Each structure stands twice: as C-alpha cells, then as structure tokens.
Amino acid sequence: MKLTQGNWDPNLRSMFFNAAMKNLTEDLGKGDSRTYEYGLREGMNNLFAINDFAQPGNSIRREGKEWQAFLASIESGCPTFLDSGVFWLTNQHKKAHGTTMDEALALAPEEIDNFDWLFDVYVEVVKEVGDQLWGYNELDQGGKENKIRTRARLEGMGLRPIPVYHPLNDGWDYFDELAKEYDRICFGNLVQAPPPVRKRLLATAFERHAEYPDLFIHFLGITPNEIQMALPFDSCDSSAWIAIRKFAHSVRFQASGQKRWIIPREWLPPLPWTWVERGPTNALMLSESYARQRAMRHWNQTVIDNITGTRYPTGVADK
C-alpha cells in the first residue's frame, strides 16, 4: 500500500473543502478582513491551487496575498488541500487553441502549453510544505498512461501525490488498480457532468468503494447535497461559497443538502456592492459551507451508524 503525503487523519471522513480560496485575498486587499479571517478559522477545510500564487513563466509570488493566505491556512490548522492546477492549465490551453476541454485533457503533457512550468512550480511547493498539507493531487494531464508516467516521475523524486481517477476515460479496471495500490484517490469527471451522469458516477463509486473500505476517496468539484444522503462519500470540494459574488439574489441556503431558501433581500446590501459591504454576506456563505460539512458528517457517520450499525465506509469512529 502506497501512502500519500500529508498530515491527514484517515479516520476523519465526511470533509467538505472550500475551493477558490484566493478570493479571500481579494477581499482582504479591498479592506474586508472579516471574510479573510472567517475563512481561516478553526473547523474550515480549504483548497488552494498552484495557479493561485503563480502564473506561467513566473515563480511563486511569495510576497503576494495569495501565497500568504495559503501559508496562513496551513498555520491556522485548517486542513489544506493543494490542487495541482492542471484543470486551470488545460482550460488556458483550450482557450488559446480553440479545442474542447476533452481534447485538451487528452493531450500528453509535452503537448500542453506551459506544462513544464507547472511541473517545476508544483514540485517546488510540494517539497516545501507537502508534509504540512492535508494532501495534494497529482498532475493528471493526458489520460491514464500519461498520468502513470508523470506520477512515477514525481514518486521518483520522493513526492507522494494523490492519484486522480477519471471514470469516463480511465475504465473501472484502473479504479481497482489504484484502490489496491494507494490509500487515497481523487475522483474526477464530475464538474461538467450533467446531473443524470453525475448520479450514475456517484452510485457506481459508492458500490465499488464497498470492496475497498479502507480506501479514502476525494470527489473533485462537487458540493454536498441531497445525493450524499443516499450515497455518502469521504470528502469533496467546490467553490459554491463564492456564488454569492455572481448570483447574490438567487443563491439559496440548503437544508440537509437540498437548496430551499433564497437569501432574504434585507440581508443583502443594495447593488452595486462595495467590497466592504459584501464582507458580512461572504462570511455568511462561508458559515453555510461549514454547516454543510457538519450536516454531511452527521448524516454519513451518525445517522447511518444508528440505522445500520456500521459506519461508512469502514466502521471507524469519527473524531
């Protein structure tokens, strides 16, 4: 069994990570410290990406607020997940060359613009803080064979990334291969999947997970919702909390994972917002993210335990 790197607790499951955390630094730069401080408080799980604090052709902006927020998240004790930045890099390539996302993702690393730059920055960051992170996913560019090749290169350097599995492209045999070899995997293809496809992927993952109860699966790009009540999973991430920035008057609060109530208009400042005015509402959305995790954990590890006598997926006690 290969152990992925990080200071994570394999017994602590049902975790929801707030993605797009560089948005915290935008608010801080505009005078709103409330959102920044709330996002780094105890009990929050945070996800940053390599492209948050570095851009092609440049090294890490260590003096920048994004890098400082990343370090602050680690130092505050928040479980901090580092995304490799491949999804962002592939999007940049897609826009520059007029291809589809699927076509860009299938390209070998050598065919993707700025992959060598991303590899170097990724290695630099992980070598510096890898042991302090909750975990970090691999550079999953180019399909199964290329992922294996790049991961072997990283492992040869002493790094231990979390493999990324793409069910729509890799085949279920590869899931079994990773599940037998690693303690954790990431599960992709969910962000752009239509709802019926997403449900089928989650249902299949749930069934196959039962064969590997000690495996920890992190689902990339999904918010806890009513689906996880029936198909519980270990952890996930999304940028749902920043929806308030684009759809302030249509964002809905959730109850047991289901969207129910629109935020009362009197809770929102009149448009257009200033950065300081929207701070309390941002903090409110981060608070809801924390509540989502608590509801997810309560259902997955308390209710299921009481009903079935077994705790998903291994029977270990929750902390």
In a domain, 264, yes or no: no
Range 135-157 average pLDDT: 97
Strands 258-262 and 252-255, bridge-based pairing: antiparallel
In a domain, 246, yes or no: no
Tokens of 7: 């200071």
**pLDDT for 5-33, tens place per residue?**
999 998 888 899 999 887 777 665 565 66
Banded model confidence at residue 165, pLDDT cuts 50, 70, 90: very high
The whole-number pLDDT of residue 275 equals 45
Calpha distance 89→211 (Å, rounded): 34
Q: Which of 176-190, 193-207, 257-271 has the highest mean pLDDT?
A: 176-190
The whole-number pLDDT of residue 71 equals 93
For 208-255, the three-class secondary structure string (H helix, E strand, C coil) is HHCCCCCCEEEECCCCCCCHHHHCCCCEEEECHHHHHHHCCCCCEEEE
Q: 3-state class of 163 per DSSP?
A: coil
**pLDDT for 217-236, tens place per residue?**
999 999 888 777 777 889 99
In a domain, 281, yes or no: no
Q: Please tell me which residue, 187 or 106, carries the higher pLDDT value.
A: 187
Q: Which of 3-17, 32-46, 140-154, 186-200 has the highest mean pLDDT?
A: 140-154
Q: 3-state class of 94 per DSSP?
A: helix
The whole-number pLDDT of residue 319 equals 39
In a domain, 187, yes or no: yes
Residue 47 is part of which domain span? 15-239
- The dihedral over CA atoms of 188, 13, 8, 119, expressed in degrees to the nearest 10, equals 10
In a domain, 97, yes or no: yes
**Global model pTM greater than 0.75:** yes
Range 117-142 average pLDDT: 97
317: pLDDT strictly greater than 50 = no
Helix (H) / strand (E) element for 18: namely strand 15-18
In a domain, 74, yes or no: yes
CATH number for position 189: 3.20.20
Structural domain count of the chain: 1
Range 62-85 average pLDDT: 92
Helix (H) / strand (E) element for 102: namely helix 101-106
In a domain, 140, yes or no: yes
